[in-house]
Amino acid sequence: MATRDTNVKGMRTQVGIIGAGPSGLILAHLLRLTGIESVIIEARSREHCEQRARAGVLEHDAAALLERIGVGERMRREGLVHRGIFLRFNGRDHRIDFTDLTGGRSITVYGQHEVIKDLIAAALDAGQQLLFDVEDVSVDELESRRPRIHFRRQSGAVTLECDVIAGCDGFHGVCRPSIPNGALQSFDKTYPFAWLGILAAAPPASEELVYTRHERGFALMSMRSPQITRLYLQVPPSTSLDEWPDDRIWTELRTRMATNEPWALCEGTILQRSVTPMRGFVVDPMQYGRLYLVGDAAHIVPPTGAKGMNLAIADVRVLAEALVAFYRDGSSELLGEYSTTCLRRVWRVQRFSAYMTRMLHRASDDPFDDRVQLAELEYVTSSRAAAAALAENYVGLPFDAR
């Protein structure tokens, strides 16, 4: 195992992982199963990582991966398997049947923070070096054979020497900005709306997610458990939470999600609320020297397609396979192809997320755009081929490592 940090200023490991989100923790777990050492450092506390409610949908293959590597027991016990979603427009529900359209595939609703809890528990049980609450993180010597991570703990300044650094530290992390100017090309799409999201102590009003297109704007009913509902409203990007007291949120949700059939939204105490900008972002390449960007450090997708965590897990699978080949065979071929391999999937997922976003959000007052949007919804809910394309992408495209 890696050198323990007991009042020493220098540490050494094979793979240095910055970030204890799903991507960093899954990468360490996959490497550990093959005997490859790693150290994970995380700027936030363990409690913060385990309690921050974020994404909650796992693709079919992502859920299967967690189960296969031994961290899916609680997910299978407590997660909610969904075999379809509802598209609601003009006051009517239209179900997209994933299981029928994709040969039996499904999704699992299981919160990202729950995935993190399971992975942290497994890591600590296995003696994984997992350091929380680190400060002043930086990286250097990225083009050398021994890139370094510098950080500070209560015991003092530490330098972690690695063979490889995995930047799993998110969009606002230190890894991507540490790459020299001009080495990366950025692609950025900012949407003219945001999501006001709430977590409510109320049972979901539907057993499956409900995506609603309404003339006042998009709304989504999701869930985190049989007792906790996750709900979203399309709002302007400049929205302040002060503008949205509880009564206004529930009134707007009832209005947008109303149907012509008997249906009632379950309401309860709002536990959390936030405003999330809608954007798409990609950097190319996703690597520089011995630094490999993973997940949100390299790409952001609008949440309409439920792809953020799943895309990060796909990156991890590619990087883990490449690192196994590097240490087992001494081959750098797969590491050299990491970015190209990942970006094929990244852009397909960006396409799907943009498609779902355009189809369901009200982006203008132009009546022509309004009619085209409704025509798209009517097409996807009446054509088996169109519905199958949506279902195939939603449950997750087949994983192609190369």
User: What positions carry a catalytic annotation?
Assistant: 82, 211, 303, 307, 394
Whole-number Cα distances in Å, 253 to 197, 202, 205, 218, 374: 11, 14, 12, 10, 20
Is the distance from CB of 302 to CB of 190 less than 8 angstroms? no
Half-sphere exposure (Cβ direction) of 366: Cα atoms closer than 13 Å: 7
**d(Cα 340, Cα 351) in Å, to the nearest integer?**
17
H or E segment and range at residue 345: helix 338-360
SS3 113: helix
In 176-270, which ranges are continuous DSSP H helix?
246-256
SS3 54: coil
153, two tokens: 């703990």
User: What is the layout of strands, in order, in the sheet containing 107-109?
Assistant: 57-58, 107-109, 80-82
Is the distance from CB of 294 to CB of 167 less than 8 angstroms? yes
235, two tokens: 């709002």
**d(Cα 122, Cα 40) in Å, to the nearest integer?**
14
Residue with tokens 């022509």: 368
- Strand boundaries in 164-310, DSSP class E: 164-167, 185-201, 210-212, 219-225, 228-235, 269-284, 287-288, 291-293, 299-300
Whole-number Cα distances in Å, 166 to 240, 289, 312, 381: 35, 11, 12, 41
